[in-house]
A = this chain, B = another copy of it.
Amino acid sequence: SKSYNIAVLPGDGTGPEVVIEGKKVLSAAAQKFGFKLNYEEFDFGGDRYLRTGEVLPDTASDQLSKFDSIFLGAIGHPDVKPGILEKGILLRLRFELDQYINLRPVKLYPGVPTPLKDKGPEHIDYVVVRENTGGLYTGTGGFTMKGTPDEVAIQSMVYNRKQVERCLKFAFDYTKKRNRKNTLALCGKTNVLTYVYDLWERAFHELGAKDYPEINRDYYHVDATCMWMVKNPEWFDVIVTGNMFGDIITDLGAITQGGMGIAAGGNINPEGVSMFEPIGGSAPKYTGKNVINPLAAIASGAMMLDHLGEEEAALAIEAAIMDVTANKLKDMGAGRMGYSTTEVGDLVAERV
């Protein structure tokens, strides 16, 4: 029987708690569908940094790249200045492991409260493919005369054709495989970002026309995208966009699907090792209280199994989550679920 080696990074705050529930459900799925999961834990995160002074060992990505996949809890510690751990662990791993895709399904599960009026699961079901290692995230830029009245700060959005094309290729393939409306929408700002999104737009239409004639191509400015995600989310099938716009629209999407308790994502290197994470933060104030919602971590576990090729197991977990949101949980927020973190994990695991 198949067996997968999973690196587990529980991380900070409530990360370890949701990771335990994720593993519980993954193990149930493994048993049911006849494969094995071997876990190895790594203590990267705020506690380790405060103890050792080291954000991430230089060997980390080398070590992690030997695994079949990475399962991450949350990074972020109240005693560490914002930015250090996010950049030093999360972004560094995304970059060093060349996880150039951030895959974020925006799906409203039955029973989950959405802040949008008159929208149900039939309206909110699309996927954002966010470029994950380029653009404004590369740290390209700097200061002139920092700290003086003449200070200038520059931050550059840089993309080359290869980065854009491999991301678009993933998005087209994904749209085809998803086989829903066969429509890929590029989200950009071609009327203002006339260099970077001109490149994206040309590559989009060239690649689409050449290799994916059966996929419809749409285009929305990023500002309009945000409006339609709120007003007419049912318009979307798959959206592809650069790193910064992707960061923004995926958080907006997350809130429409019920928020951080439920939204999952994958940092994907299609040719290498990928990393799956609930997209909420470490929620330090709920740490150790057994009240945080583990469904986002569980859903990211399902994404991981799908990515590993265990599609049936992934679907079974998703079905179990839907049954639990539809029939059990009162709310998705920490402390308002009507069940504890552990109980929610049990509920999903039983159903798998």
Interface residues of A (CB under 8 A from B): 82-83, 86-87, 91, 114-118, 136-137, 139, 141-143, 147-162, 189-199, 202, 222-224, 226-227, 230-231, 244-245, 247-252, 254-256, 259
Q: What are the 9 tightest A-B residue pairs by CB atom distance, in nearest-first order?
A: A223-B251, A153-B199, A83-B191, A227-B255, A226-B252, A155-B196, A151-B161, A153-B195, A141-B195
Knowing A115-B117, A162-B149, A199-B153, say if A194 contacts B226 (CB, 8 Å): no
Residues of chain B within 8 A (CB-CB) of A198 are 153
Residue from A118, A153, A156, A252 whose CB has the most chain B CB atoms within 10 Å: A153
Residues of chain B within 8 A (CB-CB) of A251 are 223-224, 226-227
Known: A154-B158, A155-B194. 19 other contacts (CB 8 A): A83-B190, A115-B116, A115-B231, A117-B117, A136-B192, A137-B192, A143-B199, A151-B199, A152-B159, A153-B199, A155-B193, A155-B197, A156-B156, A189-B247, A223-B247, A223-B248, A226-B249, A230-B230, A252-B252
Copies assembled = 2
- Contact: B160 with A91, CB < 8 Å? no
Task: Report the bound CA distance from A155 to B244 in whole Å.
Answer: 13
Task: Report the bound CA distance from A147 to B198 in whole Å.
Answer: 11
Knowing A226-B252, A251-B224, say if A142 contacts B195 (CB, 8 Å): yes
CB distance from A199 to the nearest CB of B (A): 4
Residues of chain B within 8 A (CB-CB) of A153 are 158-160, 195-196, 198-199
